[in-house]
Chain A
Amino acid sequence: MDFLYSILIDPFVQMVELPDFLLQVLWEGFVAGVLYALIALGFVLIFKASGVFNFAQGIMVVFAGLTLVGLHEKGVPAYLALILTIGVMGLLALAVERFVMRPLVNQPDIILLMSTIGLTYFLIGFGEFIFGGEPKQMITEELGLPTGSTAFEIGDGGLLILQHIDVAAAVIAIIMVGMLAIFFNKTRIGRALRAVADDHQAALSVGISLNQIWAIVWFAAGIVALTTGIMWGARSDVSFALEIIALKALPVLILGGFTSIPGAIVGGLIIGIGEKIGEIYWGPLVGGGIESWLAYMIALIFLLFRPQGLFGERIIERV
């Protein structure tokens, strides 16, 4: 009975008793969720346009962040380094298209997935070879991003502390999603992208170049990766540990659906907030640290009831 009470009732009592703490937890979860959503967004972009589940998105985040910081360390001014990093991500996109995607066209999904795992390994080795393995400090101030924090008073003496960088991350994420939505729906290239996503052969037959589209999509994913790298790097360090966090994008995508941009956002927020709440209020019951697997379990349970995700197309094969 005590155990049931501590699982079913006590966490909610705690939430009601300390509403400011609850808000703080929600905010933390929201920020983590925005970053998950950004990583998931990179996945969705590539998945939509080529049907490839890009395992390397996580390492692309790290790679972009490291390139930016590494260039700055070499004495390149921050904004120039940013532009150069965008250039590097463009080169990476071209290289991936030329040496990985093009030779593997029309292969089964699982082969493509594994090729991106290979790409992940290559980029990890390459990144560590060039930049070294130790974590680096993100150049937050040099890029003109806000630092510091603001405290709000809530109710009777409760405090809600917002880091400025988190607010900036949320705003930038929203702007980016809006730009992507416009890009996908209003521009010529965006329409071509959607055509490719729908049917490769039909797109080819009306004169859309698959190779060009893929390069563009990987470049867009690279830009998303760079943004994620900056935002995440500003919160902690830029290090290869990020790569594991990127795996969290998988449950996010299961929740949101593999092909939906709004799904990636909503899924990311649900996972981020659910994880934090679970960790703070239910985690202590089992010894804490459940953050590492809670997201996957949420996704697992979700899969049983709605395998296509919240916004996904109903394409899953039932066995």
Chain B
Amino acid sequence: MLYRESGQYKTSYDADQAIFPIREDRIGIAIILAVAVFVIPWFSSDFLLSSIMIPFLILALATIGLNVLTGYAGQLSLGTGAFMGVGAYACYKLTTIFPDVNIVVHILLSGIFSAGIGIVFGLPSLRIKGLYLAVTTLAAQFFLEWCFIRIPWLYNYNASGAIEVPERRGFGDLIVTGPAASPITRYYIVLAIVIVLTLLVKNIVRGRIGRQWMMIRDMDIAAELIGVRPLWAKLSAFAVSSYLAGVSGAMFVFFYLGAAEPSAFAIALSFQILFMTILGGLGSLVGSFFGAAFIWALPIVLRTGLPAIGVNVGAEVVFHVAQMVVGALIILFLIVEPHGLARLWSLGKEKLRVWPFPYA
């Protein structure tokens, strides 16, 4: 009743190939966007904006990046954190060298640097795959982390070895980054970048390139026979994936952390993004948002929820329990639903479609 596509006839190819061919989906997306743009900024506290919504959106973008590589192109990567770091450091250097250019331009450009590095470390994927590829991405992770520590030029010879976000103005005289930037400004910029890039990726994955990625993932030899060039398919997946990781890394530092040491991009971050991808669902963009929201919100919910139901424990215990729960959930999901939260979402839609009958 609520969600049913019967009666919606398409009379042109354009209508048939639209991103959201079903009217209810379009309405749903419009409502979500309206909530994200109008309701959340005005009705939520600074805390909610700056410690939940902003990191959630940024990590969702990184998750989409990893999903492009692992979910769509089937190449396992354990180096997402380092690629995010490349974006952050590139953005920092860019804004040091060209302080007058709008920071958003720098953020979008910094992804290109990490895409370049991603392509270099993606080269071994032409010969190897699976676990072996995981080792090369681990090499990227540790090598890049070392670069962040040992190349002082990257952090402007700062005595602390960390990068600190300078204050930058843009869009008129609005303070965009730095400690004085208001959460609402940062939220809007992050939201805009994430929406635009997500739409872009959505169109890439349902277009020619994305289909090539999926063919390579499903059966590389067959794909090659049909005429997909593995070289281009794999390297483009690495490029797009690292671009997204780089942009989200730059935003992570400039709009969320404010200052970052190399350890911010350690392997723990790579794993966190990998978990978001798995829990959300491999090969699903909406799943990336679910996964990011879930993993990011779980410790916060536990932290605020446990005292509310009368269990009073320290912050550290909550952190450990959250880690245990995440680990157990990952195993549970792999057993029960290997396609993640995205699969649950589509199952729910199926149920709605035939409701009130159990089947149609």
Against B, the Cβ 8 Å flags (1 = close, 0 = not) of A272-298 are 000000000000001111101100110
Asked if A293 contacts B330 (CB within 8 A), the reply is no
Against B, the Cβ 8 Å flags (1 = close, 0 = not) of A112-146 are 01110111111111101100010000000000000
User: Which residues of the partner chain A approach B327 to less than 8 Å between Cβ atoms?
Assistant: 118-125
Given contacts A109-B130, A128-B323, contact A250 B135 (CB under 8 A): yes
The one of B143, B320, B328 in contact with A118, judged by C-beta atoms closer than 8 angstroms, is B328
User: Which residues of the partner chain A approach B335 to less than 8 Å between Cβ atoms?
Assistant: 100, 103-104, 115
User: Which residues of the partner chain B approach A193 to less than 8 Å between Cβ atoms?
Assistant: none
Given contacts A110-B76, A129-B317, contact A121 B323 (CB under 8 A): yes
Q: How far is the CB of A1 from chain B (nearest CB, A)?
A: 24
Asked if B139 contacts A122 (CB within 8 A), the reply is no
Asked if B145 contacts A109 (CB within 8 A), the reply is no
Measured in the bound complex, the distance between the Cα atoms of B143 and A286 in whole Å is 12
User: Which residues of the partner chain A approach B220 to less than 8 Å between Cβ atoms?
Assistant: 319
Asked if A126 contacts B324 (CB within 8 A), the reply is yes
Q: Which residue of A lies closest to B216 (CB)?
A: A319
Asked if B127 contacts A293 (CB within 8 A), the reply is no
Given contacts A125-B323, A289-B150, contact A296 B129 (CB under 8 A): no
User: Which residues of the partner chain A approach B317 to less than 8 Å between Cβ atoms?
Assistant: 129
Q: Is A53's beta carbon under 8 Å from chain B?
A: yes
Asked if A293 contacts B139 (CB within 8 A), the reply is yes
Asked if B146 contacts A303 (CB within 8 A), the reply is no
Given contacts A250-B138, A254-B132, contact A115 B143 (CB under 8 A): no
Q: How far is the CB of B127 from chain A (nearest CB, A)?
A: 6
Asked if B124 contacts A107 (CB within 8 A), the reply is no
Q: Is A300's beta carbon under 8 Å from chain B?
A: yes
Given contacts A110-B130, A293-B146, contact A125 B322 (CB under 8 A): yes
Q: Is A99's beta carbon under 8 Å from chain B?
A: yes
Measured in the bound complex, the distance between the Cα atoms of B143 and A118 in whole Å is 25
User: Which residues of the partner chain A approach B275 to less than 8 Å between Cβ atoms?
Assistant: 117-118, 121
The one of B136, B328, B329 in contact with A300, judged by C-beta atoms closer than 8 angstroms, is B136
Q: Is B271's beta carbon under 8 Å from chain A?
A: yes
Q: Is A4's beta carbon under 8 Å from chain B?
A: no
A-B contact count (CB 8 A): 137
Q: Which residue of A lies closest to B268 (CB)?
A: A244
Asked if A115 contacts B326 (CB within 8 A), the reply is no
Q: How far is the CB of A54 from chain B (nearest CB, A)?
A: 11
Measured in the bound complex, the distance between the Cα atoms of B146 and A290 in whole Å is 7
Measured in the bound complex, the distance between the Cα atoms of B331 and A111 in whole Å is 9
Q: Is A247's beta carbon under 8 Å from chain B?
A: yes
Measured in the bound complex, the distance between the Cα atoms of B325 and A122 in whole Å is 7
Against B, the Cβ 8 Å flags (1 = close, 0 = not) of A158-197 are 0000000000000000000000000000000000000000
Number of interface residues of B (CB under 8 A): 45
Instruction: Please indicate which of the listed interface residues A118, A288, A304 has the most CB atoms of chain B within 10 Å of its own CB.
Output: A118
Q: Is A74's beta carbon under 8 Å from chain B?
A: no
Q: Is B274's beta carbon under 8 Å from chain A?
A: yes
Q: Is B126's beta carbon under 8 Å from chain A?
A: yes
Measured in the bound complex, the distance between the Cα atoms of B263 and A244 in whole Å is 13
User: Which residues of the partner chain B approach A247 to less than 8 Å between Cβ atoms?
Assistant: 138, 267
The one of A53, A288, A292, A297 in contact with B131, judged by C-beta atoms closer than 8 angstroms, is A53
User: Which residues of the partner chain B approach A104 to less than 8 Å between Cβ atoms?
Assistant: 334-335
User: Which residues of the partner chain B approach A293 to less than 8 Å between Cβ atoms?
Assistant: 139, 142-143, 145-146
User: Which residues of the partner chain B approach A120 to less than 8 Å between Cβ atoms?
Assistant: 327
User: Which residues of the partner chain B approach A100 to less than 8 Å between Cβ atoms?
Assistant: 331, 335
Asked if B331 contacts A99 (CB within 8 A), the reply is yes
Given contacts A117-B271, A124-B327, A304-B127, contact A292 B135 (CB under 8 A): no
The one of A114, A119, A133, A300 in contact with B278, judged by C-beta atoms closer than 8 angstroms, is A114
Q: Which residue of B lies closest to A108 (CB)?
A: B338
Q: Is A251's beta carbon under 8 Å from chain B?
A: yes
Instruction: Please indicate which of the listed interface residues A117, A124, A286, A304 has the most CB atoms of chain B within 10 Å of its own CB.
Output: A117
Q: How far is the CB of B276 from chain A (nearest CB, A)?
A: 12
Q: Is B27's beta carbon under 8 Å from chain A?
A: no
Q: Is B230's beta carbon under 8 Å from chain A?
A: yes
Q: How far is the CB of B63 from chain A (nearest CB, A)?
A: 15
Q: Is A314's beta carbon under 8 Å from chain B?
A: no
The one of B128, B230, B331, B338 in contact with A122, judged by C-beta atoms closer than 8 angstroms, is B331
Measured in the bound complex, the distance between the Cα atoms of B87 and A174 in whole Å is 46
Chain B 142-157 interface residues, beta-carbon cutoff 8 Å to A: 142-143, 145-146, 149-150
Asked if A303 contacts B132 (CB within 8 A), the reply is yes
Q: Which residue of B lies closest to A250 (CB)?
A: B135
* Seed contacts A117-B271, A121-B327, A122-B328; 8 additional CB < 8 Å A-B pairs: A113-B131, A117-B274, A121-B323, A121-B324, A126-B324, A293-B139, A296-B135, A319-B126
* Minimum-distance CB pairs A-B, first 9: A122-B327, A125-B323, A118-B330, A121-B327, A296-B139, A125-B324, A293-B142, A129-B320, A293-B143
Q: Enumerate chain A interface residues (CB-CB to B < 8 A).
A: 53, 99-100, 103-104, 107, 109-111, 113-115, 117-126, 128-129, 133, 244, 247, 250-251, 254, 258, 286-290, 292-293, 296-297, 299-300, 303-304, 307, 316-319
Sample (11) of A-B pairs whose CB atoms are under 8 Å apart:
A118-B334, A247-B267, A289-B150, A292-B145, A296-B139, A300-B124, A303-B128, A303-B132, A316-B128, A317-B130, A319-B127
